[in-house]
Structure 1
Amino acid sequence: MELPPVNLKAILLVHWLLTTWGCIVFSGPYAWANFTILALGVWAVAQRDSIDAISMFLSGLVVTIFLDIIQISIFYPRENLTDTGRFGAGMAILSLILKPLSCCLVYHMYRERGGELLLHVGFLGPSEERSAYQTIDSPEGPNDPFAGPESRGQTTQGY
């Protein structure tokens, strides 16, 4: 299924607006979680070629789906809800409903930037190829940029 091209800035603007309105009712942890993820989204906009930025934004969106479910279900005001409170709660819920769609669109952008087909999270993914790394017990130690030329086997003249 081919997704329509959507600008990352548009996704950020929609979620920023809905989060701002959602903070009318849900403040504290709701605001911190969502605005932190939106900051990662700004990083993903600024670094157009960065796979790290878009993958962190994507994983943050996924995490905030679960956090929003918990926070809305715990802190939803059941008594004395004004029209403003209903509006704020509705916007927070609308943001939550739109996040899976945003995740699909951001995942598509992640793939366009060169990300892998499957997200490898921590210990669940395959280990990285480390054959190019120098082992700790190798006879040649790494060059210390702070060491003098004498310690690297070079001689100094004129001192």
Structure 2
Amino acid sequence: MELPAVNLKVILLIHWLLTTWGCIVFSGSYAWANFTVLALGVWAVAQRDSIDAISMFLGGLLATVVLDIIHLGVFYPRSGLSDTSRFGAGMAILSLLLKPVSCYLVYHMYQERGGEHLFHSGFLRPSHDHSAYQTIDSPEAPADPFAGPESRDPAVRGY
């Protein structure tokens, strides 16, 4: 199935707008959680090649799905809703309903940036790229980082 070409900026704009309207009724932890995740999304837009930025945004979106369900369940006003309160609560609920779709789209952006399948490779395993490491049985000894350049020269050390 071919995915629609949705820009990450559009996803951010929609969730920013819905979160702003949701903050009419729900403030505090709802606002902190959602605007923090939107900041991670701005990072993902700014660094287009970063797998870390897009994966943090995806993880934040998934976390706010759970947090929004809890927040709406605990703090939803039971009585005396004005039109403004109903609108704000409706926008928070709409944002929650759109987040799984956004997660799906962001996950495919994560894969396009070179991210592995999270479910097959293990999310918390270390990277397999060890090209920057020096092997233990390397023939050359590492230089003393605290010594001056004269102590690194074998002629000066008397070897």
TM-score, normalization by structure 2: 0.84
Which residue pairs with 1:89 in the alignment?
89
Alpha-carbon distance between aligned partners in 1 of 2:86 and 2:36, rounded to the nearest angstrom? 24
Describe the shift of the 1:18–1:139 C-alpha distance in structure 2 as closer, same or farther (beyond 3 A).
same
- In structure 1, give the amino acid aligned to 2:26: F
* Deviant stretches of 4+, over 3 Å: 127-147, 153-156
Residue 52 of structure 1: CA displacement? 0.9
Greater share of residues in helix: 2
Describe the shift of the 1:130–1:109 C-alpha distance in structure 2 as closer, same or farther (beyond 3 A).
closer
CA root-mean-square deviation: 2.4
Which runs of structure 2 are paired with 1:10-159 in the superposition (5 Å)? Answer: 10-118=10-118, 120-122=122-124, 125=125, 127-129=126-128, 132=131, 133-134=133-134, 142-143=142-143, 145-153=145-153
Alpha-carbon distance between aligned partners in 2 of 1:56 and 1:34, rounded to the nearest angstrom? 13
Long gaps (5+) in structure 2 = none
SS of the residue corresponding to residue 79 of structure 1 reads coil
Alpha-carbon distance between aligned partners in 1 of 2:141 and 2:18, rounded to the nearest angstrom? 54
- In structure 2, give the amino acid aligned to 1:90: G
Describe the shift of the 1:121–1:84 C-alpha distance in structure 2 as closer, same or farther (beyond 3 A).
same
Size of the alignment, in residue pairs?
A: 153
Describe the shift of the 1:143–1:88 C-alpha distance in structure 2 as closer, same or farther (beyond 3 A).
farther
Alpha-carbon distance between aligned partners in 2 of 1:84 and 1:155, rounded to the nearest angstrom? 82
- In structure 2, give the amino acid aligned to 1:111: Q
SS of the residue corresponding to residue 77 of structure 1 reads coil
Among the aligned pairs, what percent are the same residue?
A: 74
Alpha-carbon distance between aligned partners in 1 of 2:31 and 2:144, rounded to the nearest angstrom? 45
Residues 54, 110 of structure 1: 8 Å contact kept = yes
TM-score, normalization by structure 1: 0.84
- In structure 2, give the amino acid aligned to 1:121: F
The Cα offsets for residues 50-102 of structure 1, whole Å up to 9 and x where unpaired, read as 11111111111111111111111111111221111111111001000000000
Long gaps (5+) in structure 1 = none
